[in-house]
């Protein structure tokens, strides 16, 4: 048998690919991001959302940034635990690189119809880094340019009084009330029409209902649309 004969798809394969492109098999997944200050309940809501979307038959995966499992993530982990000092711009670019090293995985998941629920994304990097003295806000946005744009950002909005009442900050870097105040103000500057600002200071289940309703309509609406890019 000649090589070209081996490589030519069978009639079945040809129609499988063609029909896949025309039907739901290749409808893309949604990119759903949660943002907010520390202790705003993001992780709890992410986990619940993944579970509920899966229960509705929507293929869903969970990601979290920083992704502390990679070599780059390990540098971030030791920085956050205050075991290592790095200049502000350096750690900013390191956090950005940690998202970029997952870019292909994110894009191919979405293209293969997998919905992604992500706990923090590039917005956190801007909000936290720009809260530091001498870090320019615009400069902080630049390294994320070209990353896939979330279809929705659920911002878990908790005012400072509520946050102070919740308390329970850990001992990692950035976990102080004053710093969180600036982070919060920076998040507010990043809001665009893809954001849903939600009151995080209410019953978890009530909040979740609102998130789930929104997420379901997003997964439906993005099916035939292209992935967007930041910013």
Q: Which residue has the tokens 């490589």?
A: 7
Please identify which residue in 40, 124, 141, 186 interacts with ligand FDM, judged by CB under 6 A. 124
Q: Which helix (H) or strand (E) holds 128?
A: helix 122-129
Q: Is 174 in the site for ligand FDM (CB under 6 A)?
A: yes
Q: Which residues contact 64 (CB under 8 A, 6 or more apart)?
A: 43, 46, 118, 119, 120
Q: Which stretch binds Mg ion (CB under 5 A): 6-14, 24-32, 34-42, 94-102?
A: 34-42
Residue 77, classed as helix, strand or coil, is helix
Return the number of the residue (41 or 66) whose C-beta is nearest ligand FDM: 66
Cis before residue 26, ω within 30 degrees of 0? Answer: no
Please identify which residue in 38, 119, 151, 157 interacts with Mg ion, judged by CB under 5 A. 38
Q: Which stretch binds ligand FDM (CB under 6 A): 44-52, 124-132, 190-198, 204-212?
A: 124-132
- The interface with ligand FDM within residues 71-90 (CB under 6 A) comprises 80
- Rounded CA gap, 52 and 186, in Å? 31
- Rounded CA gap, 39 and 33, in Å? 16
- Rounded CA gap, 14 and 11, in Å? 5
Q: Is 120 in the site for ligand FDM (CB under 6 A)?
A: yes
Nearest Cα to 130, choosing from 192, 175, 70, 186?
186
Q: For the chain, how big is the Rg over CA atoms in Å? A: 20
Q: Which does 65 bind (CB under 5 to 8 A by kind): Mg ion, ligand FDM, none?
A: ligand FDM
Q: Is 141 in the site for ligand FDM (CB under 6 A)?
A: no
Task: For the sheet with 115-119, list strands across it.
Answer: 60-64, 115-119, 31-35, 152-157, 195-199
Return the number of the residue (28 or 92) whose C-beta is nearest ligand FDM: 92
Please identify which residue in 29, 66, 148, 150 interacts with ligand FDM, judged by CB under 6 A. 66
Return the number of the residue (38 or 157) whose C-beta is nearest Mg ion: 38
Return the number of the residue (46 or 58) whose C-beta is nearest Mg ion: 46
Please identify which residue in 128, 154, 155, 195 interacts with ligand FDM, judged by CB under 6 A. 128
The residues that touch ligand FDM, with contacts defined as CB under 6 A, are 38, 65-66, 80, 95, 120, 124-125, 128, 174
The residues that touch Mg ion, with contacts defined as CB under 5 A, are 38
């Amino acid at each position: 048998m000649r090589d070209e004969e081996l490589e030519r798809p069978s009639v079945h394969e040809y129609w499988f690919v063609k029909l896949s492109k025309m039907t739901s098999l290749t409808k893309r997944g949604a990119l759903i991001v949660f943002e907010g200050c520390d202790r705003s309940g993001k992780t709890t809501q992410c986990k619940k959302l993944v579970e509920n979307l899966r229960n509705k038959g929507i293929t869903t995966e969970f990601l979290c940034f920083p992704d502390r499992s990679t070599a780059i993530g390990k540098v971030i982990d030791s920085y956050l635990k205050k075991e290592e000092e790095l200049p502000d711009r350096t750690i900013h670019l390191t956090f950005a690189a940690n998202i970029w090293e997952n870019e292909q995985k994110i894009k191919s998941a979405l293209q293969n119809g997998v919905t992604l629920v992500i706990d923090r994304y590039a917005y956190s990097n801007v909000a936290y880094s720009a809260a530091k003295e001498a870090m320019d806000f615009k400069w902080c946005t630049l390294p994320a340019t070209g990353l896939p744009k979330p279809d929705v950002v659920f911002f878990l909005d908790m005012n400072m009084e509520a946050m102070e009442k919740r308390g329970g900050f850990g001992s990692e870097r950035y976990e102080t009330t004053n710093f969180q105040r600036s982070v919060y103000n920076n998040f507010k500057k990043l809001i665009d029409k893809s954001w849903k600002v939600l009151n995080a200071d209410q019953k978890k289940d009530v909040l979740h209902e609102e998130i789930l309703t929104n997420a379901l309509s997003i997964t439906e609406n993005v099916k035939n649309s292209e992935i967007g890019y930041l910013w």
